Amino acid sequence: MTMITDGVDDEEKWLAVGIAGLQQNAFYMHRSLDSNNLKDAMKYSSQMLSELRTSKLSPHKYYDLYMRAFDELRKLEIFFMEETKRGGSIIDLYEHVQHAGNILPRLYLLCTMGSVYIKSKEAPAKDILKDLVEMCRGIQHPLRGLFLRSYLSQVSRDKLPDIGSEYEGDADTVNDAVEFVLQNFTEMNKLWVRMQHQGPARDKEKREKERGELRDLVGKNLHILSQVEGVDLDMYKDFVLPRVLEQVVNCKDEIAQFYLMECIIQVFPDEYHLQTLDVLLSACPQLQPSVDIKTVLSQLMERLSNYAASSGEVLPEFLQVEAFSKLSQAIGKVIEAQVDMPTAGIVTLYSALLTFTLHVHPERLDYADLVLGACVEKLSGKGKIEDSKATKQIVALLSAPLEKYNDIVTTLKLSNYSHVMEYLDGETMKVMASVIVQSITKNKTQISTAENVEALFELIRVLIEDLDGSLPDEVDEDDFKEEQSSVARLIQMLYNDDPDEMYKIISTVSKHILTGGIKRLPFTVPALVFSSLKLVRQLQGQEKNPSGDETATTPKKIFQLLTQTIETLSSVSAPELAFRLYLQCAEAANDCGLEPVAYEFFTQAYILYEEEISDSKAQVTALHLIIGTLQKMHVFGVENRETLTHKATGYSAKLLKKADQCRAVYACSNLFWLDDHENMKDGERVMLCLKRALRIANAAQQMSNATRGGTGPATLFIEILNKYLYFFEKGNEQISVGTIQGLIELITTEMQGESATPDSSADAFFASTLRYIEFQKQKGGAVGEKYEAIKL
C-alpha cells in the first residue's frame, strides 16, 4: 500500500515538474512572439514540447500535460496564420520548424504548421496530410505516439479534402481523405495494442486499465471517417469497412477487437450496416475467442431493430438482404467457434435475435419459433440452468414475445416457447409464469378455447402444482397468496360464449388445479366453482336436453363436475370453504329447478357441518348461512324441505352458548314464512320458534343471575320483540297485540329490576324499537290500525 501511495505521489511530482517547465517555456515563447523573434520562439516552443517526452506519467496525468501544451500550440498556430498574412513565406516557416532538435517537438510543430499550410492552399491538402502522417511514424513510443497522432487528427479533421470542402481537390480527393484517416487509425491502433505487451506480466491489469483510458483516441478516427461526406455506401462497402475490419482482425488483441467492433456499429449509419451485413458478420468468427462477441452482435441487432422500428419504409431492405437468415447463421457460427461460451452468452445472442425478429418480421411467427428452437438446440444437454445471469436472459427471451404481441394466445402458437421454459430452475420458472399471468390480466387477453387453456396451464404449471418436490411451505406467505390470487383471477377471465367449449375449458382447468395440493386449492377451487356457476346461470332452465345429444352441456353435467371438485377441499382441511361452496351450488341448482341436485348439495353441507366444523363461532356462522340459503330455496317438495328445516332447527338447539341458540332458533322462524310463496306460510311453526327462543333467552338470564349475581342485558328479548313485530306486520295471525304487549312489559320489568345489569346499548336498542312502534301508529291506514292497540 505504501509503494502504491509513493508511486502516486511521485507521479504528481513529475506532473508538477512537467507543467512548471511547460509554463516557463511557454512564457518565453510568448515574449519572443510578441517581439517577433521567430528564432527564439521556435527554440522555446521546442523546449516547451520537450516536456511531452516524459515516460513517467500515466495516461491520465499525461493527458493533463498534453492539454496544456495543446492550448499553447493553438496560440502558436494563430501566430503562424498572422505571419503568413503579413507576407511571410509559408514554405520557409514549414521548413523552419523542421530544425527543432528533438523529433517529438519537431513533429508537433510540423503538425501545427501543416494545419496553417493547408489553410493557405499553397499546396494540395492531400500532399501535406500524407507528408505529416508518414513523418509521425518517427514516434514509436505507444503513449507519446498516440497523443501525437491524436493531435494530428484534431488539427486536420476540418481540413480534409472532402466533397464540398474548401480543400477539395481532384476526382480522387475523397480517397485521399479516407486514406489519410485510415492510415492514422491503423498506426494508432498498432501503438495502442503494443501497450499491452510492454512491462512485466504482474502489471497486466494496470496496463489494461490505462489502455481503457486511451481507447477513445483510437476510436475518434472512426468517428471522423463516419463524418466524411464523400464516404457513401459504395465506398464504405468496397473500401472503408474492409480496411477497418482487416486492421481489427489482424491486430489479434481482444481489447482492441471488442472496442473497435463496438465503434464500427455505433458510428456508421444503420443503412450501411444492413447493406454490408455479410462483410461485418464474416469478421465475427475471426476474432479472438475471448472477445465478448455476444455484446457486439447484440448491439448490432439492437441498432438494426431500432432502424426497422423507425420507419416501415425500410422493412423491404431487410427482406432484400435476408438479414434474419444471415444473423441467424452468424450466431450459430460464433457459438460453434467459441466452444467455451457461457450459457448466458448463448441466450443473450438468441434474445437479441428474437427482439430483432419481432421488430422486423412481427408477422412471421415461424421466424420467432426458429429462434427459440435454435436456442433449445444449443441448450440441449445442459439440464436445469441455475446461473443467475443465464436465467435472467432466458426470462428476457421469453418475455419478448409477450411484450411485442401483448397477447398470450399468439405466443402460445410458438411451439418451442415451452421447451425454452423447461430449462429454467423452479424459482425462475415461477417468476416467468407470473410474468405470463400478469401479461394476461393486464391486457385482458381473451383465452377462449380449451386447447389454448391446456397450453397455457402447461406453461404456468409451476404456479398450480408442486414441482421438483418443492413445497409451498418454503416460500414467503404473502408472495404465495399474491401468486395464487393471480391464478384465481386468471381462471375467472377464461370465457367462451359457446357452452360446450366453456365446459371443456372448465374441465381442463379442473384437471390441472386439482393437483395443486393443500395450500393452493383454497385459492383456485372457489374461482373455478364461480366460473362454472356463471355457465350454469347461462344455461338456466335448460336441464332437459332438447336435442337428445348426450355430449351437450347441461347444468346437471356441470354440477356433477362441481361435486367432484368441491370434494377435494374436504380432503385438504378446508371444510368451511367447501361448506360455503356447497351452499352456493345448492342455490344455483334451486334456480335451475333441479331438486335432487340441490338436496344433494345441502346434504353434503350438513355432513360437513356435523363432522368437520367443531369450533363454536364457526358453527354459529355456518348455521346462519344454512338458514339464509334454505330460506331462498323454492324447489324442494314438502318432504325434502321438512327434512332440511328440521335439521337446521335441531342444530340451533345444540349450539354451545345460550345466546347463540336463541338467535339461531328465532332465525329459523324465517324458514316457515316465505313472502312469495303462500303455501310456505306456517304461522304456528313461526310462533313455536319464537316461543322457544323466548324460553332460551329466559334461561340465559337465569344462568347469568346464578353465575354473576345479575340478570344481564335484555338484548335477546329486544331482538325477539323485533322478530315478533316483523311477523306481526307480515300478517301472521298467531301473533296478537296482547303477545307483543306482554313482551314489551317483560322487557321493561327486566331492564328496571334490581338485579338488571345497566347496558346503554340495550337501552338505546329498546328505545329505538318503541319509537318504531310509535312511528307505525302515526302512519295511519291498515298498518296504523294494527299498531294502535299496542300501549306504550
Amino acid at 527: A
Residue 360 pLDDT greater than 60, yes or no: yes
Instruction: Indicate the pLDDT class of residue 646, thresholds 50, 70 and 90.
Output: very high
- What is the overall mean pLDDT for the chain? 89
Q: Which long-range contacts (CB under 8 A, 24 or more apart) does 317-322 make?
A: 317/271, 317/274, 317/275, 318/274, 318/360, 318/361, 321/274, 321/275, 321/277
Query: In this predicted structure, what is the pLDDT of residue 4?
Result: 38
pLDDT tens for each residue of 725-774: 999 988 888 999 999 999 999 999 888 876 677 788 989 999 999 999 99
471 has pLDDT over 80: no
Look at residue 14 and tell me whether its pLDDT is greater than 90. yes
The pLDDT score that the predictor gives to residue 154 is: 94
pLDDT of 440 reads: 93
Indicate the residue type of 241: L
Angle between helices 737-752 and 715-730 (to 10 degrees): 170
Mean per-residue pLDDT for 514-518? 83
Measured distance CA(122)–CA(203) in Å, rounded: 49
Q: What is the mean pLDDT of residues 386-405?
A: 91
Q: What would the grid cell of residue 80 be?
A: 503562424
673 phi and psi, to 5 degrees? -145, 95
**Residue corresponding to grid cell 432484400:** 320
**pLDDT tens sequence across 588-614:** 999 999 999 999 999 999 999 999 999
Residue 10 scores a pLDDT above 90: no
The band of 780, judged by pLDDT with boundaries at 50, 70 and 90, is confident
C-alpha dist (Å) from residue 474 to 8, 319, 388, 466, 477: 53, 51, 20, 11, 9
Assessment of whether the complete model's pTM goes beyond 0.85: no
For residue 569, the model assigns a pLDDT of 85
Q: DSSP states of 41-97 as a string?
A: HHHHHHHHHHGGG-SSS-HHHHHHHHHHHHHHHHHHHHHHHHHHHTT--HHHHHHHG
Angle at 195 between CA 194 and CA 197, to 5 degrees: 70
Provide the percentage of residues in the chain whose pLDDT is more than 70: 95
The pLDDT of residue 711 is 54
Write the DSSP symbol of residue 236.
I
Quickly state the pLDDT bin for 1 (edges 50, 70, 90). very low
Tell me the average pLDDT across 77-83.
88
355: confidence class by pLDDT, cuts 50, 70, 90? very high
- For the purposes of burial, counting CB atoms within 10 Å of the CB of 243, is it exposed (0-12), middle (13-18) or buried (19 or more)? middle
Q: Which three cell numbers stand for residue 694?
A: 323466548
Residue 709 has pLDDT above 60, yes or no: no
In this predicted structure, what is the pLDDT of residue 643? 95
Q: What is the pLDDT of residue 787?
A: 86
Is residue 713 within 8 Å of 757, Cβ to Cβ?
yes
Residues 6 or more apart in contact with residue 602 via CB below 8 angstroms: 582, 583, 586, 630, 644
Q: Which residue has the cell 404481441?
A: 405
Are 148 and 136 a contacting pair, CB within 8 Å? yes
Closest to 770 (Cα-Cα) out of 737, 739, 738, 748: 748
Q: Which residues contact 282 (CB under 8 A, 6 or more apart)?
A: none
Banded pLDDT at 2 (limits 50, 70, 90): very low
CB 218 within 8 Å of CB 185: yes
Which of 376-385, 409-418, 497-506, 685-694 bottoms out in mean pLDDT, i.e. has the lowest?
Answer: 376-385
* pLDDT at residue 206, rounded to an integer: 86
Span 96-122, average pLDDT: 87
Residues 6 or more apart in contact with residue 769 via CB below 8 angstroms: 718, 721, 722, 725
More confidently predicted of 285 and 6: 285
- The answer to whether 439 and 433 are in contact (CB under 8 A) is no
The per-residue pLDDT for 65 is 96
**Each residue's pLDDT tens digit, 228-283:** 988 999 999 999 999 999 999 999 999 999 999 999 999 999 999 999 999 999 99
Position 164 scores a pLDDT of: 77
Q: ∠ CA(200), CA(212), CA(301), 5° rounding?
A: 130
Distances (CA, A) of 490 to 59, 417, 493, 505, 597: 60, 20, 5, 12, 28
- Evaluate if residue 197 carries a pLDDT over 60: yes
**What value does the mean pLDDT take over residues 450-463?**
93
Pairwise pLDDT comparison (203 vs 450), residue with the higher score: 450
What is the rounded distance in angstroms from the CA atom of residue 618 to the CA atom of residue 604? Answer: 17
Cell of 684: 304456528
The whole-number average pLDDT for the span 547-558 is 79
What are 296-310's pLDDT values in tens digits? 999 999 999 999 988
Position 640 confidence tier, pLDDT thresholds 50, 70, 90: very high
Percent of the chain with pLDDT over 90: 63
Q: What is the pLDDT of residues 313-344, one digit of tens each?
A: 888 999 999 999 999 999 998 888 888 888 99
pLDDT for position 122: 86
Beta bridge partners, 424, equal 385
Distance CA 438, CA 433 (A): 9
CA geometry: angle 688, 595, 549, nearest 5 deg:
175
Q: Which secondary structure element, helix H or strand E, spans residue 3, and what is its range? A: helix 2-34
pLDDT band at residue 439 using 50, 70 and 90 as cut-offs? very high
Task: Locate 162 and state its grid cell.
Answer: 472532402
For cell 498572422, the residue is: 82
Instruction: State how far the Cα of 602 lies from the Cα of 559, in Å rounded to an integer.
Output: 13
- Angle 253-255-260 from CA coordinates, rounded to 5°: 95
Residue 347's closest CA among 294, 277, 278? 294
How far lies 714's CA from each of 68, 534, 692, in Å? 99, 45, 16
| Phi, psi of 428, rounded to the nearest 5 degrees | -70, -35
Longest dimension (CA), the chain: 136
Whether 472 has a pLDDT exceeding 70, the answer reads no
C-alpha angle 197-202-207 in degrees, rounded to nearest 5? 50
